Structure 1
């Protein structure tokens, strides 16, 4: 389960079994390598200082002692890859819009509908939104859609960082 601060593995009743904070990128990579039983494909995006670690359906990008986790599959190693509200790859646009959300302005496919949303939005004091200049930035769990279907969920996400 992705939250604004960590990746948490929960049991069938929703009780936390293991939690890895995004502020521990090395721990995140070790945990996912153990969980998935395989080493990731590593891509160095220097000089930007970003490292990508990829497994089937999972990517971890690290920069500035932070890990950004993205899921592009509905389950990882037999565990549901979702938000606390139950949104996962394959969920519908209507499922996302039924929840409190941040709405970006990005229309990737040019069909006139926004394709980028944020769940669990919270204001980030001391920042400025790149999407809504003059307003405080917002942190959220990123939701990307292709058509009307969730294609990727990622956290932590925001509208005030440009990388």
Structure 2
């Protein structure tokens, strides 16, 4: 059975909120097909840039990149976001996106202009979220590989 093109929603989340687990659970459903973090610069950012931008636009974009949290983000032109969303709609009906992958203006565009219902995920306990980020950053485990997390030694350092 193909995914249901009329059933469209976006998981819009902060990091370390269980969004990957939710996305993995939803992916089991036959009517759902999820696009996992299309704006994650560590997974897709360079290929997205090369696919949707010409060389002068790419150079201009690289000169405008800024540091946000622990990800590099850039102000993509709206035309690029529109092209990416058009491609995503052809192949999936669920988008999982973390808010720290794009600047706030781009996140606002994604929220208001893509015609998807939105599921917001956040953590009430910011301290636990920070600890979870520290553990993930130290172990380099960002998904659900609990055995790798348990096997890693953790040391607090001053930075």
Instruction: State TM-score, norm by structure 1.
Output: 0.25
- Larger RCO: Structure 1 or Structure 2 (Cα < 8 Å, ≥ 6 residues apart)? 2
Higher helix share: 2
State the structure with more CA Rg.
Answer: 2
Instruction: State TM-score, norm by structure 2.
Output: 0.26
Higher strand share: 1
